[in-house]
Structure 1
């Protein structure tokens, strides 16, 4: 794709405000001048964590969308840190995708090796779904802020379009606002996975040419591990369509970082422990009423590695014996493909985390999300895709309302299934529209 073609495209679309920076007199030597538009390259930064199936799930979801809607493109996946679980999943399901690893900068060293070659080859750089574009929400670490923004500045200096796909934005503490606004205004697109993030950016005078709602990349996920999933269901005595999935999140330390606490709660306080007790009390009420009313089973499933321990000790072990007999608590972690094979057989799902529920919706399974507000704006995505009645606030809404929503799904199951399908039809339409922008950027 040559520089003249790219500039002409930008002039003819809403991207005309994008101020790519080229050194004086360098137009003829700019990156991309030697590339063929028939074989464009998209560089995707993704895969934030192997210990959370949501952080795993973003990657195959967005890769599937790119594969489906931009089949001409060569995809390079960038992992800033090794992600062996995700990499095995990608190798199995996306054998054509090349994976590169490495930090963008390391002390006195700038980008080098395979990562540098990937940027030199790229016709578009995409930062995949998540919420790292915040400062002061979870921490005040400039290193992490710069590690996310530095690749964008590299793209600006080298005339590489870049965009953000399925992001949430919650906080730009001083003095970060002007820095984020400077670089993100020069993006080709920002797709926010919730409309509140779109409003937040616009209210703070962000002027990115395309700044719209675009679903979390995880909505595109379709990978399965049927062998493992079916084996687990058989071993656990869970029948197709006859169990509720429950996913919790607690204010407890990561299992692999003893003493440091959870990312969102570096040192759980007595108040946070009390918060866990109240939250899990509501979940206990839900499980109890589900079992007593429907006679169906419950699977307590982990979205994060650490909950394989804490969901058992803080929820499962606290259930009454007669209820516990109908509940399965998974005590081993899993990858997103095995989880998908299990979720596909669920009757419905309840979760305090959103991404297992995203996977459920992608499979046509009705879901209820009771979010902790500290998780940020991302929970609003359920309202935005058309199921606001399935969204609650775990600390504010009463147990009766949350349980009532799950029971209503059971009582009116065909209606709930139709509602889940309608929500996913909306998601798929937006996926198609967002990917059309990606395709034009790399093929024009």
Structure 2
């Protein structure tokens, strides 16, 4: 049974669908602050997803992407597949002024600044500088975790922790920033519940999914070549995505490690073997029960080495020959197109189930306790049973049951439940885009449709 996503529980009805627009004769010029990293295909997918949803409002919508990090490979992706988007680089100086001419021009021309999907306020300082201009801004599907990865918990425990917080726990700096927003879409219901309990006033506060659900960039030829190279049988193989409890950002970015980095490395050293053993057990079940192959591939670049260090070494001798380990960090369009050719995806990273949903492939999310509350998004879309906590004593049995269901449905595309969840997410993203663009008409309001779903400032925890 698909559970309806949460609807707004705070904003009064007369306010909700009526967003002001200072230029009613034309759509807004939107400056999208997004693209937080290129070492994570989940991060990479946020921007093309948001841009696709916003572009669907009309070709006259002027969209500018202001990326935090964007590599040459990703720039080529935009140039080839979304050539209509303008990309501007630059930062803000200590006084909140753009450091490049291109950013200064975009900053001056934009009608609204939109914070892209993220695990926290990835661009909180930028929005505070923008807030001083008096122009509108909004949040396009974010998670705001009041505890974060340093308070390991299951999603159920996180819900209990949030309910135990006082109504004034939210930092005043973040409360003021959120209150001044034109809209604040929470990509998971735990974030929505937390901010509702904090009695946040002012913005249009509602559930709104991660923009990755609207991503549609596939590289079919590259995926065909990969499937042939690794001798995979289309529709019969499983993609398995490993991860550590903490991404080693100091190694990813070539930085000198600090105390926090050493702490994260130590946690990984203590848990990598046991966490990956759970993944290996599920891989073993798949191979032995189906005779199919497994492709071990990364969502993050560091996981290429992580996979090579553990697979197929930790697998039984009868299973290892059926497991292939991706030798390189693939790009977003190739990964998504490969998911389309797989029977299913079993991932320890949170965004691969979304990528799989865009091509109708069922997925299982094996969640680690150091992840944020963003994993609640799957329950919000009726797929809560596909989330398995890695430390759950029944994890192996649950994974086996879910994998058996995927095996039974091989050859059926799109997967019915996955397609329904994806349709609900993209319908809601269309409503969110309508709000951001400033267009409202018949069937285009911001109501959730029936059946659809120092200080503690800037809860920015990395990742997606």
Q: TM-score range by the shorter chain?
A: 0.7 to 0.9
CA distances 1:4-52 after superposition (whole Å, capped 9, x unpaired): xxxxxxx97437799xxxxxxxxxxxxx97x673253111011111111
Q: Does 1:426 align with 2:428?
A: no
Q: Which residue of 1 aligns with 2:222?
A: 228
2:326 to 314, 325, 330: 330
- Following superposition, the deviation at residue 416 of structure 1 comes to 8.7
Map Cα deviations across residues 288-330 of structure 1 (whole Å, 9 max, x no partner).
1110110111011110000101112123322223211111110
2:172 to 178, 183, 186: 178
1:296 alignment partner, one of 287, 292, 299: 292
Aligned residue in 2 for 1:216: 210
Offset from partner CA, 1:82-141 (integer Å, 9 cap, x none): 432322211111111110011122x467224221211211112111011132xxxxxxxx
Tell me how far 1:268 sits from its aligned partner: 4.0
Give the TM-score, by structure 1 length: 0.84
The whole-number CA distance in structure 1 between the counterparts of 2:188 and 2:96 is: 37
SS state at 1:223 partner: coil
CA contact (8 A) 2:37 2:70 kept: no
Matching of residues 8-47 of structure 1 within 5 Å: 13-14=15-16, 37-38=25-26, 40-47=28-35
**Partner Cα separation in structure 2 for residue 97 and residue 267 of structure 1:** 40
For 1:321, the equivalent position in structure 2 comes to 317
Q: CA RMSD in A?
A: 2.9
Assess, with a 3 A threshold, how the Cα gap between structure 1 residues 154 and 269 changes in structure 2: closer, same or farther: closer
TM-score scaled to structure 2, two decimals?
A: 0.80
Does 342-351 or 317-326 show the bigger shift? 317-326
Q: Measure, in 2, the Cα distance between the counterparts of 1:59 and 1:439.
A: 16
Aligned equivalents of 1:424, 1:293: Cα separation in 2: 29
User: What is the Cα deviation at residue 423 of structure 1?
Assistant: 1.0
* Deviation string, structure 1 residues 40-92 (Cα, Å, up to 9, x no partner): 31110111111110111111111111111243211100023443232221111
Of residues 331, 337, 341, the one that matches 2:337 is 341
Rounded to whole Å, the distance in 1 between the matches of 2:302 and 2:98 is 33
Cα distance in 2, alignment partners of residues 279 and 221 from structure 1: 29
What per-residue deviation string (whole Å, max 9, x for no partner) do you get for residues 208-249 of structure 1?
431111110111111012222211111111122111011111
1:269 Cα deviation after fit: 5.5
Q: Which residue pairs with 2:157 in the alignment?
A: none
Does the CA-based 8 Å contact 1:260-1:267 persist in structure 2? no
Work out whether 1:188 is the aligned partner of 2:182. Answer: yes
SS at match of 1:101: coil
Q: Give the count of matched residue pairs.
A: 406
Matched, 1:417 2:404: no
| 5+ residue gaps, structure 2 | 1-12, 149-167, 446-464
1:89 matched to which residue of 2? Answer: 77
TM-superposed CA distance for 1:265, in Å, is 5.5
Is 1:199 the equivalent of 2:193? yes
Specify the SS of the correspondent of 2:45. Answer: helix
- For 1:436, which of 427, 434, 437 is the aligned residue? 434
**Alpha-carbon separation, structure 2, partners of 1:259 and 1:324:** 35
Q: Does 1:402 align with 2:399?
A: yes
Deviation at 1:175, TM superposition (A): 9.3
Aligned to 1:386, what secondary structure does the other structure show? coil
Q: Which residue of 2 aligns with 1:21?
A: none
CA separation in 2, counterparts of 1:226 and 1:416? 17
**Secondary structure at the residue paired with 2:313?**
helix
Structure 1 equivalent of residue 162 of structure 2: none
Q: Name the structure 1 match of 2:91.
A: 103
CA distance in structure 1 between the aligned counterparts of 2:178 and 2:308, rounded to whole angstroms: 42
> Which residue of structure 1 lines up, in the alignment, with residue 39 of structure 2?
51
Higher helix residue share: 1
Question: 1:264, 1:233 → 2: CA distance?
Answer: 39
Structure 1 SS opposite 2:318:
helix
Q: What whole-Å deviation, never above 9, does each CA across 1:163-209 have from its counterpart, x for those lacking one?
A: 11110001279997100000111101111110000011111222243
Q: Quote the residue 2:248 is aligned against.
A: 253
Q: Which of the pair has the greater relative contact order for Cα pairs under 8 Å at 6+ separation?
A: 2
Q: Which moved more, 1:43-52 or 1:309-318?
A: 309-318
Q: Contact 2:348/2:368 (CA < 8 Å) preserved in 1?
A: yes
CA offsets per residue over residues 381-410 of structure 1, 9 Å max, x none? 010011111011112252222222122222
CA contact (8 A) 1:192 1:214 kept: yes
Residue 368 of structure 1 is matched in structure 2 by: 364
Matched residues in 1 for 2:114 and 2:350: separation? 22
1:136 equivalent in structure 2: none
